[in-house]
Amino acid sequence: MCLAIPGKIASIAGQLDETFRTGKVSFGGIVKEVNLCMVPEANVGDYVMVHVGVAISVVDEAEAQQTFQYLQQMGEVEELEPDKH
């Protein structure tokens, strides 16, 4: 199943060109590089919904935290964890 997962923007790169704008997004402490081209209004500290490495919308903190908790309960966030090899 494909899900959008909420995360908090920690930093943004490529501010001058929206097409190549990326950011470091924290998902419960696990940080991933995310494409931010679809959310030009997003800023550091904002929460975004991320689907397949692309932020698709900005959400408020309460909604992001509630959604992340639901996904954890369903076991849908394990793919974010580093490999345990």
Give the per-residue pLDDT at 77: 67
CA neighbours within 13 Å on the CB side: how many for 4? 15
> Could you give the domains of the chain?
5-78 (2.30.30.140)
Per-residue pLDDT for the chain (85 aa), expressed as one digit of tens each? 567 889 999 999 976 777 789 999 999 888 999 999 999 999 999 999 999 999 999 999 998 888 888 888 887 766 666 554 4
SS3 23: strand
Give the per-residue pLDDT at 85: 44
pTM, to two decimals: 0.80
Q: Residue 55 CB: number of other CB atoms within 10 A?
A: 26
